[in-house]
Structure formats: structure tokens, C-alpha cells
Chains A and B, each alone.
Chain A
Amino acid sequence: MYEFLQYRVQDAMTPEPIAISPKAKLREAEALFEIHDFNGVPVVDEQRRLIGILTKFDLLKAFSFDFHTLVPHYDQIMEQAIETVMTPYPASVEPQLPLSRLLQKMVEMRAKSLPVVEEGRLVGIIAREDVLKALRRAAIQHEAPIHEESRP
């Protein structure tokens, strides 16, 4: 785990990730989810400033019972703009944040992924899978021998 303590968010994140415009439709986000294994997609303006995140959970929420109709209509809902159902002002992290701190934050928030922002601009995204991979990498490099020696 000592090695892991050295890692920063920028070492494990996906840099310059795919992002989507707030005016795009839910249909387009759904198409992205279909192709890629994203938990959520960052929503950015023309300057790639982070203004929201659209998760699969947000998409499901758009289909939950509300007072507009008795039965939700697929096509109608999929035509809505992303900004109407995204989570605005999402939590984000800086690239220099230690990965151990990011892990704590993820656990506390039960977040599946967090956008990485530098000076307001989206520079990456980091997911649970990325942190797991970093943990594995750190363990393989430095902790395997300790395990060996502790055997009787």
C-alpha cells in the first residue's frame, strides 16, 4: 500500500474523456452508454468547463413515476435535453489529489466515477475500476514478498 500512497488522480484517470453538451438529447447519452462502459458522462460547455454529470442513474430517474403522465413515454423522454435531468454542480477532484484521498471520497459519496477538473476545465474522469487497477498495480510491485515471508 505504500506505493499506492504515492499515486495521484492524474496517474490513474482517463485523460481528456468523452463529454457531452447540455443541449444534447438523452438519446445521445444513451447511445454513448451503449457503446462505452461509462457510469456517467461529464457535461461541458464549449470551453470544456464542467457544468454537470449525467449518470445512468439520472437516466433511470427520468423514467420513474412522476405527475406528468400515468405511463412514461420512451420517445418523449429520450428527446429531453440532458440539462433537464443531469446532476448540476457535480462533485469533482483535482488531478493532483492523492489517490488515497480520492478513494475515501468515492466511498463516502458512493460515487462510481468523478470528473477531474483543473482550473474549471474538464481534464479527466476517474472511475472505481481505475482505482482498483491502481491498487492492484501497487500491490503487485511491492507487497507480494511480504506475503511470502509471512507463511509458516
Chain B
Amino acid sequence: MTTLLYTHPLCLEHDAGYGHPECPARLTAILNELKTGLFAALEWREAPEASLEQLTRIHAPKHVERIFARVPRHGHYAIDGDTVLSPQSGEAALRAAGAVCAAVDAVLKGEASNAFCAIRPPGHHAEPHQSMGFCLFNNAAIGAAHARAVHGLEQVAVIDFDVHHGNGTQAAFEAQRGYLYISTHQAYIYPGTGRREERGIGNIVNVPLPANAGSAELRQAWIEEIEPALRAFQPQLILISAGFDAHYLDPLAGLNFCEEDYDWLTAGILAIASEYCSGRVVSMLEGGYNLQALAASAAAHVKALIAGSPTA
């Protein structure tokens, strides 16, 4: 079985304005890396549009309607100081969420053991009633809800290693059985949530890390908290909110992960997945704002996905 790569050209058309760090070049940098011979094992697939039904499993229909109504015909519309819409943002967001749902379908049907969705806009800050933090719709939560609703799964886990806490994913899951959300992130930066005490109904595991934490702290978090939480939950599918902005060269935060950490962490997640759910993992891009570091880190992550694909 192989590793799938879901993406769509429209994901390059979402444009948050001149100089905005969440820029199309991020995706281009990753895709260029994944087009090289090292990644010949990847099977590329075009992301479909998410349906309204898929979006509204997580987001209020009125909110979805409002976001699409604000997509400008020309220029930009700022939802807040960070989050900006351009004319094709709505279509890009539909492809982003659609990629994750399609990847979930493919992996659960056994077409591949795992998948990476190279998508933007990102999703983990998007709450059920509020788009924010560069994010319009919550791709990870939408994918998890899709797995439960359509495929009848009962236990879906999301692991989020973006440097910022996924307040949106937490908000979507914190009162819902059947979901586990685990996040490592830098403490005391945006969006301010993700404290250890925020535990939902026992299904939220927040591991805030102090500024300058790196490989050692990540490994400690994995061994002491993440791996035990995953084992206790016995996931039937694992989704990954793969942000690469905890990298030591990222300009938007202050953690010190390196490329090897993403390889190591991905391998660890895949080992748990093969133990509990036949290796079924769907990963998706969140943040990461230094283009070189982002491309190298995403490549390390995808390489580990390919290596961990059972018969690869």
C-alpha cells in the first residue's frame, strides 16, 4: 500500500495580502520538494470540494454562509488582523476540507494506509462559530467528524504539533465523546488557549511547552503524555494537524524543533497507528512560515509516512 498526496491548484489561489506569512509560496515550496525522485512512491490525487454537509458537521450553517458571503469579488476582506479573504479563498477552503474528507475515505476504504493533504488555508484555529488565526474552516475536525458519520468509526484521534494551540479543534471536540485531541504547542503565545487544565471531558490532552523547548522536551512529552494517551484511547484512525512552525528557524514563534524531530514524531505516531488501526493516518498541513524549514520539515514528515506505510 502506498501514501496518498492530496492537493489542489486552488489552494494556491487563497491570498491573504502582500507579505502575509501564510502565503501560496508555502505550498509551492512543499510541492516542489515532493515532486523530486525521493517521493516517487507518492500517489498524487486532486482534492474534491467539501460538501456543505461535511462542513456543517463542525461549523454552524449560519457561520459557513457568512464566511462565503464575505468573500470579496476583488481585493481583500479582513475577518480580523490575521485572517484575510481574497476572491478565491472560499474555493481554496472547500478544497482544503475536501482533501481531508477524501483522504479519510481512501484510507478507510483501504486504498492506501496513509495520506498527506498539502492544503491551505490551514484549519486548526477555526472554531465552530468563528474563523480566525489564518484559518477559515477546521479541516482536521471536519475530517474526524466525516470518519465517524460516514464510516461509523467510534474513536478518532487528532494529534496537533503546530507551534500554536488548535483552539478550534479543541472547541469542536471538548464536549464530544469519540474524539481525542492532543496538542503540543508553545505556552503563552497565540491563541492563549491550550493550558494543561483544559481537559474537555477527559478527551483533550494539552502539552504546552516553554519558549526554546526542542527535541528533548518533545520526546519527553511523547513518552510521558502523548503515547500513553493514544494507547488508552485505542484510536481507529489518527489525523495529524501538521504545522511545522515549531521549527527553530520559524519567524512566528520560539520553539526549537528540527527536521529530524518531525521524522521521529511521525514514525512514533505510525507505530501506534499500526498497532491499533492498521496504520491508518491522515495528515494535513497547518502552519510553518520559513519556506526552507517548512519544505524540509514537511519532506521529513512525508518521508516518514511513506516509510511507515506497511508494504512500502
Contacts and interface: CB of A to CB of B under 8 A. Distances in A.
A67 interface: yes
A65 B81 contact: no
A69 interface: yes
Nearest to B253: A65
B188 A70 contact: no
Interface in A66-117: 66-71, 73, 76
B133 interface: yes
B190 interface: yes
A71 B82 contact: yes
B62 to A, nearest CB: 25
Interface in B180-231: 186, 188-192
Interface string A34-73: 0000000000000000000000000000000111111101
Contacts of A69: 80-82, 190
Nearest to B186: A65
A76 B189 CA distance: 18
Contacts of B82: 69-71
B254 interface: yes
B247 interface: no
A66 B188 contact: yes
Interface residues of A, number: 9
A70 B252 contact: yes
Contacts of B186: 65
Does more than half of chain A's interface fall in helix, strand or loop, or is it mixed? Answer: loop
Interface string B250-287: 00111000000000000000000000000000000000
A73 B189 contact: no
A66 B81 contact: no
B191 A67 contact: yes
Interface string A4-30: 000000000000000000000000000
Contacts of B191: 67
Nearest to A66: B189
B164 to A, nearest CB: 7
A73 B190 CA distance: 14
Nearest to B164: A70
B21 interface: yes
Residue of A69, A71, A73 ringed by the most chain B CB atoms within 10 A? A71
A81 B21 CA distance: 28
Contact of B252 (A66, A68, A71, A76): A71
B134 interface: yes
Contacts of A67: 188-192
Contacts of B133: 70
Nearest to B167: A67
B77 to A, nearest CB: 17
Contacts of B252: 65, 70-71
Interface string B224-247: 000000000000000000000000
B81 A76 contact: yes
Interface string B156-192: 0000000010000000000000000000001011111
Nearest to A68: B190
The 9 A-B pairs of least Cβ separation, nearest first, read A67-B192, A65-B189, A70-B82, A70-B190, A67-B190, A69-B81, A73-B81, A69-B82, A70-B133
5 contacts: A65-B186, A65-B252, A69-B81, A70-B164, A71-B21
Given A67-B190, A69-B190, 18 more contacts: A65-B186, A65-B189, A65-B190, A65-B254, A66-B188, A66-B189, A66-B192, A67-B189, A67-B191, A67-B192, A68-B190, A68-B192, A69-B81, A69-B82, A70-B133, A70-B252, A71-B21, A73-B81
